[in-house]
Chains A and B, each alone.
Chain A
Amino acid sequence: MSDIKSVLLIGGAGFLGLHLIEQFNAISPQPQIHVFDVRPLPEKLSKQFTFNPSDIVSHQGDLTSSDDVEKAIKESGADVVVHSASPMHGNTQKVYEMVNVKGTRNVIDVCKKCKVKSLVYTSSAGVIFNGQDLHNADETWPIPKVPMDGYNETKAIAEDMVLKANDPKNGFLTIALRPAGIFGPGDRQLVPGLRAVAKLGQSKFQLGDNNNLFDWTYAGNVADAHVLAAKKLLDPSTSSKVSGETFFITNDTPAYFWALARTVWKADGHIDDKVIVLKRPVAILAGYLSEFFSKLTGKEPGLTPFRVKIVCATRYHNVSKAKELLDYKPKVSIEDGIAKTLAWMDEGL
């Protein structure tokens, strides 16, 4: 078993990045933690993070600049690089290409040049999703030929590059983790989005029959999976089994979409007595109408056919491979994760 002496967290100042700092900081013996991002660590951190910011060395730079990345890697002396930098959904194709493809290519090239031992890449469960239902999908499911959107397409390309870069003979090991539905303190999309829905009074609507299963994953568990992956890559007795592989990471507790949403709303003190159920076809029609009228008024539509399909789709995963090969066990439950997230939101950072 080889210890992690130093780790470079690319994207470490972001949502998942802060959780990565927290989890790597908890390792014993404690590795040196370096962060590379376009911005510094947030000045104010949530009370839920226990690491000392002054223990973290921060490097700012451009992910696509080989000089910037090389400088950070050399200064950190990292034996593990974790690449979790990723643009949020809703960006342009150009941004996706720049960060996910060009940026990742750059990271791989510089890691090899600097003789880094291992690279852990944060991919996405979305790489295998293009709108069709996923029933207990595992790592044998193929990446669709026609991607659903630019984000998933570029994540899939990046993942493929990372796995192909796996080169045990030359001492460079890679791994890709595919988390699904990440939420937690620092999350700007999932839980805050649901909270906003309730405030708009839209939580009384249910789209679909609520028999579709969804996977959410608490960010701390995702970060923990990265630590496990890094350890397995550095351990000669386990590295051959996990290197060059991809792993789905979830809370291993799929749940019905609206049960998850209502649990967030309940924790926020919001419970609807009456729920109006719209069947999937009706909801899609409503989405088209909403889109149509939004174009007339120039406003952003809240309901679109795309969103209806997403909300009504079954998307859950089989994480047996991660449990078996990475010894992965989700430590924070969905319910506790929601409570932590709402507590963070109330901190108003």
Chain B
Amino acid sequence: MSKVLELLAHPDELKAALILKYIRKPLNSATDTTKTPELRRCYELLTLTSRSFAAVIMELHPELRNVVMLFYLVLRALDTVEDDMTLDPKLKVKLLREFDSKLDTLDWSFDGNGPNEKDRAVLVEFPCILKEYHALKPAYQNIIKEITHKMGNGMADYILDDNFNLNGVQTVKDYDLYCHYVAGLVGDGLTQMIVHAQFGTKDLYQGNEQLYESMGLFLQKTNIIRDYAEDLEDKRSFWPREIWSQYAKSLPDLAKPDQTVKGLQCINALVLNALSHVTDVLTYLSSVHEQSSFQFCAIPQVMAIATLDLVCNNPEVLHRNVKIRKGSTCRLILESRTLRGCVAIFQRHLRAIKRQIPVQDPNYLKINIQVAKIEQFIEEMYQEQLPQNVLPQETAVYRRTQERTRCDDLVAAKIQEEQTTFMLTCTALCALAAALIVYNKY
């Protein structure tokens, strides 16, 4: 009931929720996800482990849908090993380091997780995943194997890192490296898949590591900032000491009532750090032209900037997890189907972020300048505010944006159609209601 009230209090979001649920049509039908019993079961496992992610994967182009689903499940399996505190660390390290070699087998499985480990089914039923993995094109199999190898070893290294386990992340460089293993590698794999499928520009992967790296790091850093209270409760520490030590003697001190100002300044410093990835994110998105892949990449990024806006200068972050409203989520999903829509979302939240920073904050001007830098970059992407007779500068990002805009125009037509349907439906319902009222009067 409170959700309904929340939606009613935000009419734009209510409209978005209704369109998303009743009017919008999926990009690609998902009928081929039940071709074999193993494939069906894989998708069931996907839904069990992440309902929201499953919904996004279902929308993917058939060329990539199974690939990404299996990539997700394999990484989830890896995570399940890493997260399980009941497993002996030695066994865990060994398993993580050799996990990619299990992909070469036909029937390997693992039944050693604790009974309460949430996603243990993924490991118990791993043969099912293996069956479909081997049905993929060899190039995709190689990508999944490569990333599994790197991530498994990264996870193993962190388990053996006593300093990390005792004191958490130290420097900003360590912070970036940790986020690389947790999220940057996922971006690496997904990007290889998109490029191999020819759904993005060829140079999206080769020679442009910082683009897909930033896609992963932006998401992960946003989550790390948001999860302060929860991670503290779990005795984990991902905020880099190099940053938080400027504001407090220990990380938990930031949450003390008399330290709120310092806590907020620390949050804002981390937001500033995360914002350094935004121009890469926008460049990356401008390079993806297949629509379902674009939406797959765009949705998490617009959620992240909305979350950064929410956590920025927000004292609640120090005490509990904050989340964007479900209605906001619906609106973001609908608005982010075009690059221009994504840019508008980023710009809206970036301006809100800089508006929230108090003048007293040590990073007040730096955050303003970083936001301005991104706005300047957006101007370079579109170059629509030129005087007469001045031609745009044909920079690389301008050309990508132009190409992506041609894709946007096709999507914009569908969006317009949805809006029209919504208006007609509302009008019809109002007319019906009016007729009933009149009828009852007589």
Binding site for B on A (CB under 8 A): 132-133, 135-136, 138, 140-142, 210-211, 213, 253-256, 259-260, 262-263, 265-266, 271-272, 316, 318, 320, 334-335
Task: State in angstroms the CA–CA spacing of A260 and B372 once bound together.
Answer: 12
> Across the interface, do B389 and A142 meet the contact criterion of CB distance under 8 Å?
yes
- Chain A residues positioned under 8 Å from B386 (CB to CB): 135, 141
Could you say which residues of chain A place their CB within 8 Å of the CB of B351? 211
Q: Is the CB of A254 within 8 A of B372?
A: yes
Query: B359 and A213: CB pair below 8 A?
Result: no
- Asked if residues A259 and B354 are in contact (CB atoms below 8 Å), the reply is yes
Residues of chain B lying within 8 A (CB to CB) of residue A211 = 351
A256 to chain B, nearest CB (A): 6
Q: Kindly state the separation between the CA atoms of A262 and B366 in the bound complex, as whole angstroms.
A: 13
Chain A residue contacts of B375, Cβ below 8 A: 213, 254
Shortest B381–chain A CB gap in Å is: 10
Rounded to whole Å, the gap between the CB of A271 and the closest CB of chain B is 5
Q: How far apart sit A132 and B393, CA to CA, in the bound complex (Å)?
A: 20
- Decide: A335 and B376 in contact? CB cutoff 8 A: no
Decide: A335 near B365, CB < 8 A? Known: A255-B372, A271-B359: yes
**When A271-B360, A335-B365 are in contact, do A133 and B372 touch as well, CB less than 8 Å?**
no
Measured CB to CB, the closest approach of chain B to A279, in angstroms, equals 15
B377 and chain A: residue at smallest CB distance: A136
Known: A136-B379, A136-B380, A141-B387. A253 touches B373 (CB 8 A): yes
Whether the Cβ atoms of A213 and B354 lie closer than 8 Å is no
Cβ of A118 to closest chain B Cβ, rounded Å: 28
Query: 15 A–B contact pairs at CB < 8 A?
Result: A132-B387, A135-B385, A142-B390, A213-B375, A253-B369, A254-B372, A254-B376, A259-B369, A263-B359, A266-B359, A266-B364, A271-B359, A316-B376, A318-B376, A318-B393
A251 to B393 alpha-carbon distance, docked (Å): 21
Min CB–CB distance B383 → chain A (angstroms): 8
Taking the closest CB of chain B, its distance from the CB of A205, in whole angstroms, is: 14
Q: What distance in Å separates the Cβ of B300 from its nearest Cβ neighbour in chain A?
A: 27
Nearest 8 CB-CB pairs, A to B?
A: A259-B368, A135-B385, A136-B379, A263-B365, A253-B369, A254-B372, A262-B359, A255-B369
Query: Interface extent on B, as a size class?
Result: 20 to 34
Residue in A211, A255, A266, A271 with the greatest tally of chain B CB atoms within 10 Å: A255
- Tell me if B359 and A140 are in contact (CB < 8 A): no
Residues of B with C-beta under 8 A to A263? 359, 364-365
A256 to B351, CA, bound (A): 10
Residue of A nearest to B371 (CB): A256
Which B residue's beta carbon lies closest to that of A210? B355
Q: How far apart sit A201 and B385, CA to CA, in the bound complex (Å)?
A: 36
B365 CB contacts on chain A under 8 angstroms: 255, 259-260, 263, 334-335
A318 touches B380 (CB 8 A): yes
| Chain A residue contacts of B379, Cβ below 8 A | 135-136
Q: Are A133 and B385 closer than 8 Å at their CB atoms?
A: yes
A265 neighbours in B (Cβ, 8 Å): 359
Q: How far is the CA of A138 from the CA of B383 in the complex (A)?
A: 11
B5: interface (CB < 8 Å): no
Per the bound structure, the CA–CA distance linking A253 and B368 in Å amounts to: 10
Q: How many Å from the CB of A261 to the closest CB on chain B? A: 10
Q: Is the interface of B mostly helix, strand, loop or mixed?
A: helix
Instruction: Name the distance in Å between A43's Cβ and chain B's nearest Cβ.
Output: 35
Is the Cβ of B369 less than 8 Å from the Cβ of A262?
no
A78 CA / B375 CA spacing, docked (Å):
43
Interface residues, chain B, with chain A CB atoms under 8 Å away: 351, 354-355, 359-360, 364-366, 368-369, 371-373, 375-376, 379-380, 383, 385-387, 389-391, 393
Question: B354 contacts which chain A residues (CB < 8 A)?
Answer: 256, 259
Interface pair A140/B373, CB less than 8 Å apart: no
Given A266-B364, A271-B359, A335-B365, A141:B390 Cβ within 8 A: yes
A135 cross-chain contacts in B, Cβ below 8 A: 379, 385-386
Cross-chain contact of A334 among B369, B387, B391 (Cβ < 8 A): B369
User: Do A256 and B393 touch (CB < 8 A)?
Assistant: no
B residues near A136, Cβ cutoff 8 Å? 376, 379-380, 383, 385
Alpha-carbon distance between A138 and B379 when the two chains are bound, in angstroms: 12
The answer on a CB contact under 8 Å between A266 and B360 is: yes
B387 touches A142 (CB 8 A): yes
A121, chain B: closest CB distance, angstroms = 23
CA distance A318 to B391 in the complex (A): 14
CB within 8 A of A140: which of B355, B372, B376, B390? B390
Since A265-B359, A318-B376 are in contact, a sample of 7 more A-B pairs with Cβ atoms closer than 8 Å, ordered by chain A residue number, is A213-B375, A213-B376, A255-B372, A262-B359, A271-B359, A320-B393, A335-B366
Q: Which residues of A contact B390 (CB under 8 A)?
A: 140-142
Q: Once the chains bind, are A253 and B364 in contact (CB under 8 Å)?
A: no
Give the docked Cα–Cα distance between A98 and B369 (Å): 39
Q: Which residues of A contact B355 (CB under 8 A)?
A: 210
Residues of B within 8 A of A255 (CB): 365, 368-369, 372
A255–B391 Cα distance when bound, in Å, is 25
Nearest A residue to B358, CB-CB: A271
Q: Which residues of A contact B389 (CB under 8 A)?
A: 142
CA distance A138 to B385 in the complex (A): 12
Is A140's CB under 8 angstroms from B391's CB?
yes
Complex Cα–Cα for A316 and B372 (A) = 10
Residues of A within 8 A of B387 (CB): 132, 141-142
In the assembly, what is the distance between CA of A132 and CA of B385, in Å? Answer: 11
Residues of chain B lying within 8 A (CB to CB) of residue A272: 359
Query: Of A133, A141, A213, A259, which contacts B364 at CB under 8 A?
Result: A259
Closest to B389 in A: A142
Q: Which residue of A lies closest to B383 (CB)?
A: A136
A135 vs B373: C-alpha distance in the bound complex, in angstroms?
Answer: 12
Complex Cα–Cα for A132 and B387 (A)? 10
Chain A's nearest CB lies how many Å from the CB of B363? Answer: 10
Task: Tell me the nearest residue of chain B to A259, going by C-beta.
Answer: B368
Query: Of B359, B366, B368, B380, which contacts A256 at CB under 8 A?
Result: B368
From A271, which residue of chain B is reached at the shortest CB distance? B359
Q: Which of A141, A213, A262 contacts B372 (CB 8 A)?
A: A213
* A335 vs B359: C-alpha distance when bound (angstroms): 13
**Within the assembled complex, what's the spacing in Å between the Cα atoms of A210 and B376?**
15
Q: Which residues of B contact A256 (CB under 8 A)?
A: 354, 368, 371-372
Complex CA–CA separation, A299 to B365 (angstroms): 35
CB-based nearest B residue for A256: B368
Beta-carbon contact of A253 and B380 below 8 Å = no
A259 and B365 CA atoms in complex are apart in Å by 6
Query: Nearest chain B CB to A252's CB is how many angstroms away?
Result: 9
Give the distance in Å from the alpha carbon of A136 to the alpha carbon of B393 in the complex: 11
Nearest CB on B from A310, distance (A): 18
The CA of A210 and the CA of B372, in the complex, are separated in Å by 11
Q: Which chain B residues border A271 with CB–CB below 8 Å?
A: 359-360
A255 CA to B372 CA in the complex, in Å?
6
Closest to B360 in A: A271
B376 near A262: Cβ-Cβ < 8 Å: no
Interface-central residue, A142, A210, A254, A320, by most chain B CB under 10 Å: A254
Min CB–CB distance B35 → chain A (angstroms):
51
A251 to chain B: closest CB distance in Å? 9
Distance of A335 Cα from B365 Cα, bound (Å): 7
Q: How far does the alpha carbon of A266 sit from the alpha carbon of B364 in the complex, in Å?
A: 10
